[in-house]
Amino acid sequence: MKDFFEKAAFQDHPLRVLESFLQREEAYEKSKQYERMRFVGYVLEIGYDTITIITSDPFKIAVGGIPRNSLLIMVPSNYKSLPPHFTLLRVLEAAPTPLSNEVQQTYFELQKKSMPELDVFTQSELQWGALKTAVLGMFYSHPSELNKVEFSGDLNNFVSAHKYRVYAPDNELLDLIVNSMVPQDSRFPIGDLRLTECRMFLPDKPSPNVKVYVSTKDFMGTRTALFGKTRLGKSNVVKLIAQSLIETTGESRNVGQLIFDINGEYANDNPQDNNLSLRSVYPDKCIIYAITPKDATPSRPLKINFYEHPEKAQSIIKSLLEQDGKLSSSYVSRFTSVELPSLEEVAKLPVGPDRIRLLRKIQIFWAILKKAGYSVNERQLLSVAPTGGNTSRFNPGFSDSVRNAAYQSCGINAPLQINTLDELIRELECINKLRRTNPRLCVTSSGNNLFDADDEALLEFLDPLPGRAGAALIQPYRIYNDSSAGDFINEIIQYLDSGMTVILDLGNANPEVMSYFSNELSMAVFRHQVNKFSNNRLGNHYIQLYFEEAHNLFPQSGDVTTIYSRLAKEGAKYHIGMVYSTQSPTTINKDLLAQTENFFVAHLSSRDDVNLLAKVNIAYDSLKDDILQAKTVGYLRILTRSHRFVVPVQIRKFEPTQKGVADYAL
């Protein structure tokens, strides 16, 4: 009666598949159906880290082959008298047997004598070989939770080698091995188990047919790395991760996602490659912000207010002029060499001469923008601009004597006040004319020069000599300016708080522009989450950030105080997750690598890359050669918080899922 109740309680246990598997193996053996067995061989040498097994050609053929890195299980021969459990092994390489020298001698003699056939006894001797395997851990029944399996990365004990048998697991056991540690309530299919790159299988011996799942909880508030050479499927994995979070959090909406799309592939479809974008699959859950709107993709403008951010605008203009090869003229290079302060820096200075001089530089820059046709809301600009102590924030603060002399040189009367940017342009052009024709009048009350080198560089660009383009040179860059920009940051934060996926379409944008948006929004997200943390309002809400070309943001040796370094080190505390991708691990900051929890690794071509990967995570040590050799698109080795060992996966292509949101709800 006791056995009956124990068996009844075991009916729904995950390890029931092990018992059924071993019972079938026993039945096949008794009925001599050896070709149907999954038996691989016996243990030759056993240890805590590695196990050497002996096998033969018929065994290997019966299971469809034993490729390197394939998964095997080791069970006690007397499994019926023990609690259900098995040891998981990964095949590393061929190993010598005690008869290796004799076998080689036999082969040598056979080839030397050119014997056409082997006798049956010699064949029997030569078909045996050995394989070295790594011990990945043990699966056994959870000691305190019913109908649950537990995995340990070590062995609690082992006995003599002859008391074990080794099998190639079937699909049911492989599903248990790969997916039993992934929580049921947040699962998402990422692809299919693929133990080897080679797809040539023995007749009537199909490849494993096992779906691989990931837990979307593993990505929330953690760091996820995607490594691999270009065109091997990293972007497809990014789409799948974003898709998994959209679908599994559909009702709770507790994860907002921000994707910095530097190639425009997540915001826009690519019909040429038959690739769908995230937006086209989830139009009601994705918001697109674009610098250059696409006709087929609804989007909001992603621009910078050049007037309100002169320090960033000047840097962007310099980069654009340099990119277009327009820095050859000395007056242009002098203009771009000027470093402008921010409005906040000026506002922090006490009212006085220093503040007036700094503000004047910004005002000349405003005049250049206005003359080049950059749109501006002057009323809004007046509300945010600091004052130099004058009644108008557009007043550059020249003395009455200088102003009168300047306007007199232009043949017009000096206005009492400067109230518009057009009036500012006129005054600065008159002042510049006076500076050129009568520089002795352009002095301060103490007799010093009124303008420094930066002032003169700005004025020469605003009011150039005949034959020079001046402000007209920067007219093509007006597309990056928006007088109403600035609120988009708060808009995006609100969308993220509501569980939306926001995609910044930065395709074809200048690197300086991309850097600006990445930096500004990353800082905004960080400050927002820190504020929520300080006020105990984080709750169960997370924000997920996606970065491509991560080596530009997280260089191997760089400033550890940047916002990206803070995100890498402190983001988890503030419920900020990161997904970053790059072609080479050696280009990424080692601190970030050491703190990364999830890895998706495609083909790498550098020995240095795989060695560093193995140093960062020892689980990849035995897979280095395979990563160097396998180049199939979408063939990745994944390791997440839920997976205790690396799983080789053929990643599925991103497309709308068959299940509805409710089927994945947390």
CATH number, domain containing residue 583:
3.40.50.300
Contact (Cβ atoms closer than 8 angstroms) between residue 186 and residue 217: yes
Residue 7 pLDDT greater than 70, yes or no: no
The count of other CB atoms within 10 Å of the CB of residue 10 is: 15
**Residue of 13 and 602 predicted with greater confidence:** 602
Residue 2 pLDDT greater than 50, yes or no: no
Q: Identify the residue whose tokens are 């909880």.
A: 217
Q: How far apart, in whole angstroms, are the C-alpha atoms of residue 612 and residue 609?
A: 5
Residue 557 pLDDT greater than 80, yes or no: no
Average pLDDT over residues 102-119: 54
Average pLDDT over residues 8-32: 88
Q: Identify the residue whose tokens are 């006894």.
A: 121
Domain membership of residue 474 as a residue range: 310-480
Contact (Cβ atoms closer than 8 angstroms) between residue 501 and residue 278: yes
Contact (Cβ atoms closer than 8 angstroms) between residue 544 and residue 522: no
Q: What local confidence, expressed as pLDDT, does residue 294 receive? A: 87
Final residue of a structural domain among 419, 450, 480: 480
Q: What local confidence, expressed as pLDDT, does residue 19 receive? A: 93
% of residues, the chain, pLDDT over 90: 65
Question: Same domain for 351 and 461?
Answer: yes
> Which run of H or E residues covers position 225?
strand 223-227
Asked whether residue 193 is assigned to any structural domain, the reply reads no
- For residue 604, which of 595, 596, 613 has the smallest C-alpha distance? 613
Give 388's pLDDT tier (boundaries 50, 70, 90): confident
Question: Same domain for 167 and 41?
Answer: yes
Q: How far apart, in whole angstroms, are the C-alpha atoms of residue 264 and residue 297?
A: 11
Alpha carbons within 13 angstroms on the beta-carbon side of residue 12 total: 5
- Over the stretch 16-26, which tens digit does the pLDDT of each residue have? 999 999 999 99
**Which residues, at least 6 apart from 226, have a Cβ–Cβ distance to it below 8 Å?**
234, 237, 238, 579, 580, 581, 582, 600, 602
What are residue 515's phi and psi, to 5 degrees? -60, -40
Question: Same domain for 455 and 591?
Answer: no
Q: How far apart, in whole angstroms, are the C-alpha atoms of residue 566 and residue 519?
A: 12
Contact (Cβ atoms closer than 8 angstroms) between residue 230 and residue 551: no
Question: Same domain for 94 and 152?
Answer: yes
Question: Same domain for 316 and 296?
Answer: no
% of residues, the chain, pLDDT over 70: 91
DSSP bridge pairs for 546? 259, 579
Burial 121-144 (b: 16+ CB within 10 A, else e): eeeeebeebbbbbbbbebbbbeee
Asked whether residue 572 is assigned to any structural domain, the reply reads yes
Question: What are the angstrom distances between the C-alpha of 151 and each of 156, 177, 179, 642?
Answer: 12, 9, 12, 11
Q: What local confidence, expressed as pLDDT, does residue 666 receive? A: 35
**What's the first-to-final CA gap in the chain, in angstroms?**
40
Question: Same domain for 530 and 642?
Answer: yes
Q: What local confidence, expressed as pLDDT, does residue 486 receive? A: 65
Contact (Cβ atoms closer than 8 angstroms) between residue 596 and residue 240: no
Quote the radius of gyration of the chain (alpha carbons, Å). Answer: 34
Asked whether residue 187 is assigned to any structural domain, the reply reads no
Asked whether residue 159 is assigned to any structural domain, the reply reads yes
Asked whether residue 207 is assigned to any structural domain, the reply reads no
Asked whether residue 200 is assigned to any structural domain, the reply reads no
**Which residues, at least 6 apart from 471, have a Cβ–Cβ distance to it below 8 Å?**
368, 369, 371, 372, 461, 462
Structure-block tokens of residue 75: 């069970």
Question: Same domain for 474 and 498?
Answer: no
DSSP state of 439: G
Instruction: Quote the mean pLDDT of the chain.
Output: 89
Q: How far apart, in whole angstroms, are the C-alpha atoms of residue 640 and residue 368?
A: 53
AA letter at 82:
L
Question: Same domain for 392 and 272?
Answer: no
Lowest mean pLDDT among 10-24, 314-328, 556-570: 556-570
**Residue of 449 and 462 predicted with greater confidence:** 462
- Over the stretch 589-632, which tens digit does the pLDDT of each residue have? 888 898 899 999 999 999 999 999 999 999 999 999 999 999 99
The count of other CB atoms within 10 Å of the CB of residue 565 is: 17
DSSP state of 350: P
Contact (Cβ atoms closer than 8 angstroms) between residue 40 and residue 55: yes
Burial 379-416 (b: 16+ CB within 10 A, else e): eebeeebbbbebebbbbbbbeeebbebbbebeeeebee
Contact (Cβ atoms closer than 8 angstroms) between residue 220 and residue 542: yes
Contact (Cβ atoms closer than 8 angstroms) between residue 592 and residue 551: no
Cα 226 to the center of its chain, rounded Å: 6
Residue 4 pLDDT greater than 80, yes or no: no
Question: Same domain for 324 and 424?
Answer: yes
Give 272's pLDDT tier (boundaries 50, 70, 90): low
**Residue of 529 and 511 predicted with greater confidence:** 529
Residue 67 pLDDT greater than 70, yes or no: yes
Final residue of a structural domain among 480, 509, 531: 480
Question: Same domain for 513 and 457?
Answer: no
**Residue of 272 and 209 predicted with greater confidence:** 209
Final residue of a structural domain among 180, 198, 231: 180
Structure-block tokens of residue 339: 């470093």
Asked whether residue 197 is assigned to any structural domain, the reply reads no
Structure-block tokens of residue 169: 């697991």
Sheet arrangement for strand 542-547: 211-215, 187-193, 647-651, 635-639, 598-601, 223-227, 576-582, 542-547, 255-261, 501-505, 286-290, 300-301
What are residue 489's phi and psi, to 5 degrees? -65, -45
Give 184's pLDDT tier (boundaries 50, 70, 90): confident
Q: What local confidence, expressed as pLDDT, does residue 664 receive? A: 44
Question: Same domain for 490 and 606?
Answer: yes
If one counts the domains in the chain, the total is 3
Structure-block tokens of residue 402: 């200088």
Question: Same domain for 360 and 455?
Answer: yes
Asked whether residue 198 is assigned to any structural domain, the reply reads no
